[in-house]
Amino acid sequence: MATKEAPENFICPHCQKGIEAAEIVAAAASLMGKKGVKKGITSEKKAKSSAENGKKGGRPKKTTVPPESTI
């Protein structure tokens, strides 16, 4: 099976203008982000647990411990 190399510029089928591959990748990534593909699907159990946690004040604030001074 022979493999074709992708051209550096693609041609728009409507206006016959050149389209760079980076533009296609950016458009595809934008659409995927809008659909929430990378966020995943939250189960009903997780959503309920998160809502209950929010009513209790949410996640605890991160505390920092000051370093011990050595004298």
Domain edges within the chain: 9-55
pLDDT tens-place string over residues 60-71: 788 888 777 766
Residue with tokens 């992708």: 6
Asked if the model's pLDDT at residue 16 lies above 80, the reply is yes
- Predicted pLDDT of residue 40: 61
Q: Does 6 or 41 have the greater pLDDT score?
A: 41
Q: Considering the chain, what percentage of its residues have pLDDT values greater than 90?
A: 0
Both tokens of 26, joined, read 């950016």
Residue 3 reports pLDDT greater than 60: no
More confident call, 71 vs 32: 32
Rounded Cα distance between 21 and 43, Å, is 36
**Residue 68, both tokens:** 């011990």
Angle (CA) 29 35 37, round 5° = 70
